[in-house]
Amino acid sequence: MELQDLLYSQGFGTRRVCAGLIQQGLVELAAEDSDKAWEVCTDVTAHCDVDRALGFRVQGVQWPYCTKAYIALHKPAGTECSQKPSRYPSVYTLLPACLRQRPARGSVQGVQAIGRLDQDTTGLLVLSDDGQFIHAMSSPKKHVPKVYQVQAKHPVTPSQIARLLEGVVLEDDPRPVRAAACVQVGEHAIDLTLTEGKYHQVKRMLAAVGNRVEQLHRHRIGGYTLPADLAPGQWTWLTPEALRALRSNPDLS
């Protein structure tokens, strides 16, 4: 692949912008005879081996080549999962421009959040520009479990846990909505697992059993847990192992 096309495919701007980055000496490729050395390349038509593990550098930052992007973000409080936020800053501002500007793949341009978290909810958010992956992870038919750490205002009682597991009726749905699992981890704290997503679902479920959510944090999707060393506002590439874990449906018993 030519260097200009590689940068364009990874979201570094139009082909003219990518050519400018290259001609200004801002792009480096791994030296052919070394796994550590980097060489500035000013030839827009230079051939690039996209299979080389080191990837490439733009303005001193190293990037892997990814046909499709899969990332995890630790969403901080006070942010919205929207590209056009109404009140709070968008989570997309936490990502580098190249992830937001990746060329359209089908109906998806740039990475998109798979599901949303409320502005005051923190934790694991997965984003991708792979339309099929987004659909599979979002589909209620897949029953992908999502685990939330819930801090309640009042002590959580055994009867409240029983009702959450049996199912509660929300205002907009006559069908009972139940938790796939609910484990008490403190007097005011539970780990709540859901396999479907509705508007403010956790908050409304707690309200339906006579309690109230004070803090809400999503720490696992499927079998993938938010890395302990990923601070709020930070993001990371998802490895093939992490993607397999995301798609898994661990035992909920």
Q: Which residues are tagged catalytic?
A: 118
Token pair for residue 44?
A: 């827009």
Q: Are 168 and 226 in contact (CB under 8 A)?
A: no
What DSSP element (H or E) covers 19?
helix 15-23
Q: How many residues does the chain have?
A: 253
Q: Between β-strands 122-128 and 213-221, what pairing exists: parallel, antiparallel or unpaired?
A: parallel
What DSSP element (H or E) covers 63?
strand 61-63
Q: Three-state DSSP class for 196?
A: coil
- Distance, in Å, from the CA atom of 23 to the CA atom of 28, rounded to the nearest integer, reads 11
Please give the DSSP secondary-structure letter assigned to residue 227. Answer: P
Amino acid code (one letter) for 23: Q
Largest CA distance in the chain: 69
